[in-house]
Structure 1
Amino acid sequence: MVQPQPTLAAGSNAWITRSAEPVRVAATGALQGMSFAAKDNIDVAGLPTTAACPAFKYVATAHAAVVRRLLEAGASCAGKTNLDQFACGLNGTRSPYGAVPNAFDAAYVSGGSSSGSAYVVAKAEVDFALGTDTAGSGRVPAGLNNIVGLKPSKGLISARGVVPAAQSVDCVSIFARTVGLAAQVLQQAMGYDRDDPFSRDLRLADQPFPAAFRFGVPDNLPFFGDTLAQKAFAAAIDNLQALGGTPVRVPFGPLAQAAALLYESALVAERYTAIRGFFDTHAAEVIEPVRSIVASGCSYSAADLFEAQEKLRALGQHAAQMWHDIDVLLVPTAPTHYTIAQMLADPVELNRNLGAYTNFVNLLDYAALSVPSSLRSDGLPFGITLIGPCGSDWQLADLGQRYHHATGLPQGATDEPLPAPVAIPGLAKSGVVKLAVVGAHLSGMPLNPQLTERGARLLQATETAADYRLFALPGTTPPKPGLVRVPQGEGARIAIEVWEMPVAHYGSFVSLIPAPLGIGTLSLADGSSVQGFVCETLATQGAQDITHHGGWRAYMAARANPISPS
């Protein structure tokens, strides 16, 4: 195939290279007729890859795996976009090809490092774009430009053919003006790649978050003096409550401490490893402060790295406790918005501030989705990020689409209204919801009629993953258990039943559930996830631990037929 000849972009810092003719592979497919841009650390055959470093430039001889999948789905690639050099930055000014301006106000930063990709999507120059995300580069530019930034679970999209930043935590990300399109692109882009050492064959949760869901709000929310951002986030909490959510305060300390490790520990050595061969001989060709950041990774020992990894795992264990009480975590995508002049005057500290709510996500193996939330009174966009455990990508897309469409915002930096919502491709068929029951709603138990009178049907009897403990809650009528998720190695498998209920009756069913019980996401023994009954951890204090019975039915049978003393 004859490759189109590249041309250096002119008149826009958002592009590094535009293809003279769009790069195509297939004429038909799920993405037929759509155009996209690739961040210029992602290979497109026949076009230069620079990673925003002219001395590093080479002409790619093959498409990156993700580019190949999108081209085969019928999309065409318009060219390569600007970025913070070697994807090291969150602001969009660290490029010899020029700072990329914000799509709403050219005096302000676009966010980075996927600055150009976000800009061309916000301005509707392409339908969608690829970015990369190590510390927030697929989310911060989205939040600052009123577009969607989908940061998938690590390993869901192959990174083969991508110049790495920190390979073990890198993700290829997706920018679009709507959640529906981002999800559609994800469906085509994802897939296991045995030639990518960090690719994973992930099974994604296929049920939406509960109708009555709980969302975490950090107990410490720095906005660095930006009262407009603070006000916008308070409004976002109200907006999520209007969609059926209940806010729950969660400790931000473990997340913030994990985030700090990315640049303030031996973990930064992976930045150096990524470009070691080039950097050792061409360090002078790398601009500041990127050069200093990469160089800082040279001084650590292997022992330092193991120490940092152990600390990260410990922080991850503490942070994971929040998932016992919430379905999703809500944070500002960025806590504030700086001008280009401010960023150039203080490039390290202000860049660090932009990553206050992003750096920890990949380190702790979470999925994330940045969606537009509002336009501030100064005309600048404000975005929120929904964060969930690994594999929650479709669930985040479903909730994110509901949130985005409730805002009434235009698409990106255009005057176009949002289109009608679309079905999220990875979720189970609409019209029914799967529900796991663990106690009084089991078949033959007193509350089972609450299911059957709503047209629910039993799908299977199975078990949870071995990460739960079961308690007999005191003072409940009829008697009820409380199922609580616990750290790995401290739980057991618990017998449950999975039912299917018409979604039209789901809301009325959920309204019957008394505190301290609620609906959350359960992990099953086969590795899948489903909505099901969970209990507030606090309510189990002093309650009888009945985990050893293996399930509520066995416990009730033992209670009805106690073994007589000999």
Structure 2
Amino acid sequence: MKPVTFSPAPRTWDVSQALAGAGQLDNPAFISLVDSLVDDPGGADPGRAVGQDDSSDPVQASRAQPLRGMPFAVKDNIDVAGLPTTGACPTLTAPAERNAHVVDRLVAAGAIPIGKTNMDQFATGLVGTRSPYGACHCVDSDDHVSGGSSSGSAVAVASGVVPFALGTDTAGSGRVPAAFNGLVGYKPTRGLVSTRGVMPACPSLDCVSVFTTTVSLARAVHDVIAGFDPDDPWSRRRPSPPQAGIARVMGVVGVPDVPIDLDPRHRAAWEAALARFAGLVRLVPVDVSPMLEVATMLYDAPFVAERLAAFGHLLEPDGPHLDPTVRRIVLGAAGMEADRLFAAQHRLARLARDVAQATAGVDAVLLPTTPFHPTLSDVADDPVGTNSRLGTYTNMANLLDLSAVAIPAGRRSDGLPFGVQLVAPAFADAPLLDLAALLTGERASDVQVPVPPGRHLLAVCGAHLSGQPLNDVLTGAGARLHRRGRTAPGHRMVRIDGPLPRPGLLDDGTGPDEGIDVELWEVSDELLAQLALDVDPPLEIGLVRLWDGSRVAGFTADRTARHEPDISGAGSWRAHLADVSRGSADR
């Protein structure tokens, strides 16, 4: 796939119109607006109000400021100089002295902050109703919640006030409101975007998120805001070279292998989305049960104590400025014993390993964003239970150190938006956004990312696969995973036993019609030549036909020898190993 590109929009965004729209919304999306722009909405250049420079060369200006002239909204737990950062707590009125790091990066790219948006108080909630400033509703229904905690940011974009907005996402707050308002909600890898200047909820898990109407704009904003911040203790550098196992081109997507919790309208929309996506990518059943167990741990385990440490001091004394549900949840962590936290961390480590094993053969996992879309009255009747269920498929992402993006996936039978999410390993953000663009139809064709000069594609089907014993032979020589795929129909896979059992491919026309799963790795001339010398007969480096008709080098079996057993029925080496493991356990 060709990476998503974003052409800077013409300077057609009217900041004064955006401010007027923010003030006229029949939905409590905004808490405050930028005074300097309100006082002079018709200024000669709204960009200059935030310190932008003019340029006589529009091409040079667009490169230096790719978001030039675009107004944006900011969740009110992210600092904007001159405006209070309330966290939806009315007693916090001191103006911020400086912008959050992420806001500074956007301003340097030419974007213009116009105001601060409503939210679940102290970013504790997925409903969007836990705010003294009013409960936001989704843009398509006055009766249904907007989702939280980044409720106002989603409404601001979905209402057309701004082209993009910042939120945060600790438990799903950047994805649930996106799903309920028909938006793209991108949650980057933890630490990829600085949280300096963000009011902490769970500092070790907090992420700045982005709401847009298109994946391409989300990618453009990502390119501006991502970067290491030495002054943020939670900031992380992108690995160089990229992490092993993350494909440059994503095309194999895991889906739950068992029925999952969905209301009837959500289930029908989910099944319709799967039918559409099946024509664009390969959908593979995976065990999502360890993911779902991790999701329950965010609030049902002692991890909630981090919220108490982060902002518990703001919850005393009680008063009308505090949301009672938020206060009860967070103060409930008081007095938790440290041994409970360590026990939870140990369980999380085991589950994280289970998730990695279950998803080793896929690029990303596709899940509904939520199981249902509650009404405001549903939340009033059961504020904790409704909120907990909303996090069924989102709570686990940051605990498992995953990147994620929520995308629109059609409408339910009642006309409300339905959304799904893609989750992938940490630092898979760029190819994940490319995959999201493919599924939303922003790219009309599946264009191959070219292999760099001097490198070749090598089809790997066994011990050299990601996570398998010989994978470090590839990664240690600088090889990079290009994409996952399949052989052409007719290939067989045979097992060759030895100190390290390995499979070989045979292209004799008698194998399964669906082919055999392979990984395509970009390898150097030198590595390919060395592998050809090192491989032991009856394995050899030969030619493998792929599902698209092309031919690449791969690990093949000597056609002149007789090979047993034939394990083609498993469809992949990982599936064969799982069959062997189950067989051993049954004996």
Q: TM-score surpassing 0.5? A: yes
Aligned to 2:279: 242
- In 2, Cα distance between the equivalents of 1:45 and 1:433? 50
1:296 aligns with 2:332: yes
Q: 2-side partners of 1:211 and 1:310: how far apart?
A: 33
> Quick one: which amino acid aligns to residue 173 of structure 1?
S
Kindly indicate whether residue 87 of structure 2 is the aligned counterpart of residue 51 of structure 1: yes
Q: Report if aligned partners of 2:132, 2:321 keep a CA contact under 8 Å in 1.
A: no
Question: Cα offset for 1:84?
Answer: 0.4
1:17 aligns with 2:32: yes
Query: 1:160 aligns to what?
Result: 196
Aligned-pair distance for 1:212? 8.1
TM-score normalised by length of structure 2? 0.72
Could you give the per-residue CA deviations for residues 277-299 of structure 1, whole angstroms, max 9, x where no partner exists? 32345577421210011101212
Q: Among residues 468, 485, 503, which one is paired with 1:473 in the alignment?
A: 503
Q: Quick one: which of 408, 414, 418 aligns to 1:372?
A: 408
Kindly indicate whether residue 210 of structure 2 is the aligned counterpart of residue 174 of structure 1: yes
Query: 1:399-438 to 2 correspondence within 5 Å?
Result: 399-405=435-441, 436-437=457-458
**Distance of 1:75 and 1:350 partners within structure 2:** 36
Letter in 1 for 2:29: A
Partner in structure 2 of residue 214 of structure 1: 252
Match of 2:583 in 1: none
Distance 2:392 2:423 in 1: 14
Contact map agreement 1:38 1:131 (CA 8 A) in 2? yes
Cα 1:88–1:17 shift into 2, 3 Å: same
2:135 corresponds to: 99
Cα 1:330/1:423, change in 2 over 3 Å: closer
Q: Distance in 1 between matches of 2:333 and 2:454?
A: 49
Aligned position for 1:410: none
Partners in 1 of 2:232 and 2:420 — Cα distance? 31
Aligned partners of 2:28 and 2:134 also within 8 Å: yes
**2:551 equivalent to 1:536:** no
Tell me the CA shift for residue 440 of structure 1: 10
Instruction: Look up the match of 2:268.
Output: 231
Secondary structure class of the residue paired with 1:78: strand
1:370 positional shift: 0.5
Deviation at 1:429, TM superposition (A): 7.0
Task: Provide the residue aligned with 1:553 in structure 2.
Answer: none
Whether the 8 Å CA contact 2:411–2:418 is kept in 1: the answer is: yes
After superposition, the Cα gap between the structure-2 partners of 1:37 and 1:542, relative to the gap in structure 1 and judged at 3 Å, is closer
Structure 2 CA distance for partners of 1:373 and 1:436, relative to 1, 3 Å: same
Q: Which residue of 1 aligns with 2:221?
A: 185
SS for the counterpart of 1:299 is coil
CA-CA distance at 1:19 after TM superposition = 1.5
Letter in 1 for 2:573: E
Contact preservation (8 Å) 1:464, 1:496: no
How far did residue 148 of structure 1 move? 0.3
CA deviations over 1:151-201 (Å, ceiling 9, x no partner): 101100000000011110110000000000000000000110111111100
Tell me the alpha carbon deviations over residues 428-458 of structure 1, each in whole angstroms, 9 at most, x when there is no partner: 77999976526699xxxxxxxxxxxxxxxxx
SS at match of 1:56: coil
2:421 counterpart residue number: 385
Question: Is structure 2 residue 61 aligned with structure 1 residue 40?
Answer: no
Query: Is residue 19–residue 47 contact of structure 1 (8 Å, CA) maintained in 2?
Result: yes
Paired with 1:69 and 1:227, the residues of 2 have a C-alpha distance of 43
Q: How many angstroms does 1:113 deviate by? A: 0.5
2:185 alignment counterpart: 149
CA distance in 2, matches of 1:114, 1:211: 31
Q: Number of paired residues? A: 469
Residues 471, 540 of structure 1: 8 Å contact kept? no
CA distance in 2, matches of 1:372, 1:515: 42
Task: State the partner residue of 1:454.
Answer: none
1-structure distance, mates of 2:318, 2:579: 64
Query: 544, 548, 553: which is aligned to 1:507?
Result: 548
Q: How far has the Cα of 1:73 moved from its partner?
A: 0.4
Shift of the 76–403 alpha-carbon distance from structure 1 to 2, 3 Å rule, reads same
AA in 1 matched with 2:266: A
Q: Distance in 1 between matches of 2:222 and 2:292?
A: 28
- For residue 576 of structure 2, what is the amino acid of its counterpart? A
Q: How does 1:441-452 map to 2 (within 5 A)?
A: none
Q: Measured at CA, do residues 33 and 536 of structure 1 come closer, stay the same or move farther in structure 2, by a change above 3 Å?
A: farther
For the 8 Å contact 1:405–1:421, the answer to whether it is kept is: yes
1:307 CA displacement: 1.5
Alignment match, 1:77: 113
In structure 1, distance between residues paired with 2:214 and 2:189: 19
- Whole-Å Cα distance in 1 between the matches of residues 382 and 527 of structure 2? 56
SS in 2 for 1:99: coil
Residues 440, 49 of structure 1: alpha-carbon distance in 2 compared, 3 angstrom cutoff? closer
CA distance in 1, matches of 2:418, 2:527: 42
- Aligned 8 A contact 1:192 1:200 in 2: yes
Which residue matches 1:26? 52
* Equivalent pair of 1:90/1:113 in contact (CA under 8 Å): yes
Deviations 1:44-84 (A, max 9, x none): 00011110011233210010000000001000001000000
Gaps of 5+ in 2: 1-15, 38-48, 54-60, 463-475, 482-498, 509-515, 520-525, 530-545, 558-570, 581-587
Residues in 2 aligned to 1:37 and 1:510: alpha-carbon distance in whole angstroms: 49
CA change 1:439–1:37 in 2 (3 A) is closer
Partner of 1:272: 308
| CA-based RMSD | 3.9
- Choose the corresponding residue for 2:165, options 120, 129, 132: 129
Deviation for aligned residue 1:26: 2.0
Residue identity matched to 1:15: F
Distance 1:199 1:73 in 2: 20
Amino acid paired to 1:24: V
- Contact 1:9–1:17 (CA under 8 A) maintained in structure 2: no
Which consecutive residues of structure 1, in runs of 5 or more, have no partner in the other structure?
Answer: 407-419, 442-459, 485-494, 499-504, 517-533, 544-566
